[in-house]
């Protein structure tokens, strides 16, 4: 039997090249080998303040970019997280099985807390909802970028804890991290992750919706160094290392192979090659986006996805409730 893979993206803002290389592309490539299930994580969005209209637009965009990237609804299940209410129910149960000490150690929580912004309880417990997202579907594999690995490890711990306490119930999921491109960095500050809600650093972020000219300009203005050698050295040349990663990931080659293509090449020429490959990919995505936006069947995709996923989720929640003594039937 094919292994079951699950992953999702929060429709918090416009998708970035980081989301594409670290998540969307690996989802699409996985379709050959795995039973692929991909969702739009709208419940995770409301853990931070969000404008409802913006959320709705972003949600449609994520779906259109899933399709434009090559996710095929005939082969893979694509669904909206909130269309399966059992996930939120199981999320509460999972939060009761997760020690606060583990949640306090989550780096995404610590980073946001350090900014001094006011955080919601939902943001604090979001990794426990993510646990439910994964285990309710008995997923074997969870492809994620480097930043989400810790949350998948928390999901593994919680599933193991449940199995030990209440009997063998959940499959223990494995995180899958892409060999190249699991953490694309900002083009302006290559020590910082390229993030879709980074409003201050927009110049360092290539959005999938960016006009090709704008995207090209962002790559050509990427911060580099004065060493003048195209080499993968994250510590001393983080900007060049990031551009090499983007190039290698999109070309489907190793970093070594990418480096070999740019021996004795000047930074300007190297950046142009990176911009070309990014713009080719964006052009393909824009064409797909427009085609699916006009197709008018996007609602059906989500409906069919939820119809296929919900019965399994309901059965799993029943099993959990029985195992815990929550169910009198
Ligand atoms: N820069 C990145 N490089 C590689 N992978 C990335 N991912 C995100 N940014 C990069 C991966 O994309 C998937 C979806 O992420 P998400 O939207 O659920 O959450 P996130 O990791 O918090 O992504 P962002 O873009 O940083 O969103 P905001 O700014 O809203 O917090 C995940 O697999 C993630 O690893």
The rounded average pLDDT for each run of 10 residues, N- to C-terminus, in the chain (329 residues) is: 94 94 93 96 94 94 96 96 98 97 94 91 97 97 90 97 97 92 94 87 93 98 96 96 97 96 96 98 97 84 96 98 89
Locus of tokens 């302006």: 188
Task: Provide the pLDDT for residue 297.
Answer: 76
From the CB of 251, is ligand 1 less than 6 Å away?
Answer: no
Terminal CA-to-CA distance of the chain, rounded, Å? 32
Identify the residue whose C-alpha is closest to ligand 1 atom 33: 144
Q: Is 142 in the pocket of ligand 1 (CB under 6 A)?
A: no
Query: Which has the closest alpha carbon to 146: 189, 98, 193?
Result: 193
**Residue nearest ligand 1's atom 5 by CA:** 22
Which pLDDT value is given to residue 290?
95
CATH number of 202-290: 1.10.240.10
- Check if 10 has its Cβ closer than 6 Å to any atom of ligand 1: yes
Does residue 176's CB lie within 6 angstroms of at least one atom of ligand 1? no
Task: Specify the residue with its C-alpha closest to ligand 1, atom 26.
Answer: 195
For a pocket test of ligand 1, which of 195, 209, 245 has the largest count of ligand atoms closer than 8 A to its C-beta?
A: 195
Among 47, 51, 54, 147, the mutation site with the greatest number of ligand 1 atoms within 8 A of its Cβ is 147
Which pLDDT value is given to residue 298? 80
Q: Is 175 in the pocket of ligand 1 (CB under 6 A)?
A: no
How far does the centroid of ligand 1 lie from the alpha carbon of residue 278, in Å? Answer: 18
Quote the CA–CA distance of 110 and 104 in Å, as a whole number. Answer: 7
Q: Whose CA is nearest to atom 2 of ligand 1?
A: 18
Of 20, 8, 6, give the one whose Cα is nearest residue 249.
Answer: 20
Q: Is residue 208 within 6 Å of ligand 1 at its C-beta?
A: no
Cα atoms in the Cβ-side hemisphere of radius 13 Å centred on 225 = 18
Q: Which residues carry out catalysis?
A: 112, 193, 196
> What's the pLDDT at 197?
81
Q: Which residue has the tokens 């003048």?
A: 228
Tell me, yes or no, if the pTM score tops 0.85.
Answer: yes
Q: Is 40 helix (H, G, I), strand (E, B) or coil?
A: strand
Atom of ligand 1 nearest to the CA of 16: 25
Domain ranges of the chain: 4-182+297-324, 202-290
Q: Which atom of ligand 1 is nearest to the CA of 182?
A: 4
pLDDT of residue 1: 86
Residue 68 in contact with residue 288, Cβ under 8 Å?
A: yes
47 lines ligand 1 (CB under 6 A): no
Kindly give the distance from the C-alpha atom of residue 315 to the centroid of ligand 1, in angstroms, as a whole number. Answer: 30
The pair of structure tokens assigned to 255 is: 């970093």
Q: Is the C-alpha dihedral spanning 259, 265, 268, 269 positive or negative?
A: negative
State the architecture of 4-182+297-324 in CATH terms.
Answer: 3-Layer(aba) Sandwich (3.40)
Rounded Cα distance, 135 and 156, in Å: 9
DSSP 16: B
Mutate which of 13, 17, 18 for ligand 1? The one with the most ligand atoms within 8 Å of its CB, which is: 18
Q: How far is the CA of 322 from the centre of ligand 1 (A)?
A: 35
């Amino acid at each position: 039997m094919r292994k079951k893979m699950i992953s999702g993206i929060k429709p918090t803002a416009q998708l970035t090249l980081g989301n594409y290389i670290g998540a969307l592309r690996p989802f699409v490539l996985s379709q050959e080998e795995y039973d692929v299930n991909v969702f739009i994580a709208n419940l995770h969005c409301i853990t931070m303040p969000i404008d409802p209209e913006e959320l709705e637009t972003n949600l449609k965009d994520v779906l259109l970019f899933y399709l434009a990237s090559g996710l095929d609804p005939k082969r893979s299940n694509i669904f909206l997280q909130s269309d399966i209410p059992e996930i939120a129910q199981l999320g509460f149960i999972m939060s009761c099985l997760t020690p606060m000490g583990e949640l306090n150690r989550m780096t995404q929580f610590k980073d946001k807390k350090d900014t001094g912004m006011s955080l919601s309880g939902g943001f604090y417990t979001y990794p426990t909802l993510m646990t439910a997202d994964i285990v309710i579907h008995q997923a074997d594999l969870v492809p994620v970028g480097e930043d989400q690995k810790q949350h998948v490890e928390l999901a593994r711990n919680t599933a193991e804890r449940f199995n030990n306490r209440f009997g063998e119930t959940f499959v223990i999921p494995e995180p899958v991290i892409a060999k190249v491109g699991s953490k694309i960095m900002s083009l302006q500050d290559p020590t910082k992750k390229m993030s879709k809600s980074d409003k201050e650093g927009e110049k360092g972020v290539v959005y999938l919706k960016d006009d090709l000219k704008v995207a090209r300009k962002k790559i050509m203005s990427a911060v580099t160094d004065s060493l003048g050698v195209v080499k993968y050295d994250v510590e001393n040349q983080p900007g060049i290392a990031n551009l090499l990663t983007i190039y290698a990931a999109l070309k489907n080659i190793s970093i070594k192979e990418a480096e070999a293509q740019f021996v004795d090449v000047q930074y300007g020429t190297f950046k142009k090659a990176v911009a070309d490959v990014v713009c080719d990919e964006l052009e393909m995505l824009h064409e797909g986006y427009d085609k699916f936006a006009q197709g008018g069947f996007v609602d059906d995709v989500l409906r069919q996805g939820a119809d296929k996923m919900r019965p399994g989720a309901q059965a799993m929640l029943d099993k959990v409730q029985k195992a815990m003594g929550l169910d009198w039937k």
